[in-house]
Amino acid sequence: MGAVTTDADDERVERLPKQDRSRATRQRLLEAAVACLAERGWAGSTVSVVAERAGVSRGAAQHHFPTREDLFTAAVEYVAEERSTAIRELFPQGTAAADRPAVISALVDLYTGPLFRAALHLWVAASNEEQLRPRVTELEARVGRETHRIAVELLAADESRPGVRETVQGLLDMARGLGLANLLTDDTGRRDRVIAQWSEILDREIRG
């Protein structure tokens, strides 16, 4: 996740032109923000804590992200985009029907790492905080649409066939639920068996 910065990172950043340096600082803040949210929750996540973790001054952090809400919603969005790119790169040739179990595993993986944990803290905080709620709602909708698009594409699902859209949506709901089941305990063993079974079912359903 790149949240731990080293002296070597700092040196590399210092050698970059100003614009690139600013972009590198921004990325470090975003990655530190997601790690912080995942580990400490919303209550323990402030701009100061993230700035310190990223090795960036508080002033510089506030230059990039004027408010706490700005920082953490941008962080979840940034890491979600990174993950979207990464999952597409796993299947550079697109996918054949034979890859469906691998695609389903990769989709579920989106919901079991630090990004999901961070997003979950943000969603739950937003459910009680009026200041956060509209921004997180909009972010969730945007990330959700993009994940659905990736799923349809990689599963080679034909959404013009009745029911296929809802089948894919349900799969992503299941992935989200599996992520939640992994929050307090390592649920890997059970999850793998559920994925294996549902990969077979969904393959039949999507193949039609």
> Which residue ranges make up the site for its own copies (CB under 8 A)?
39-41, 43-44, 117, 120-121, 123-128, 133, 136-137, 140-141, 144, 163, 166-167, 169-170, 172-181, 183-185, 190, 193-194, 196-198, 200-201, 205
Query: At its nearest, how many Å lie between its own copies and the CB of residue 116?
Result: 10
Which amino acid appears at position 5 of this protein?
A: T
For its own copies, the closer CB: 2 or 163:
163
Rounded to whole angstroms, the Cα distance separating 74 from 28 reads 12
Query: At its nearest, how many Å lie between its own copies and the CB of residue 60?
Result: 27
Return the structure tokens found at 124: 């739950």
For its own copies, the closer CB: 13 or 194:
194
Query: At its nearest, how many Å lie between its own copies and the CB of residue 166?
Result: 4
For its own copies, the closer CB: 24 or 181:
181
For its own copies, the closer CB: 64 or 117:
117
Task: Enumerate residues 6+ apart whose C-beta is below 8 A from 1.
Answer: 31, 34, 35, 114
Query: At its nearest, how many Å lie between its own copies and the CB of residue 43?
Result: 6
For its own copies, the closer CB: 9 or 39:
39
For its own copies, the closer CB: 41 or 55:
41
Rounded to whole angstroms, the Cα distance separating 138 from 70 reads 13
Query: At its nearest, how many Å lie between its own copies and the CB of residue 108?
Result: 10
> Which class for 13: exposed (0-12), middle (13-18), buried (19 or more C-beta within 10 A)?
middle
Query: At its nearest, how many Å lie between its own copies and the CB of residue 30?
Result: 21
Return the structure tokens found at 117: 């944990």
H-state helical runs in the chain: 7-14, 18-40, 47-54, 58-64, 68-90, 100-109, 114-128, 133-154, 164-181, 188-207
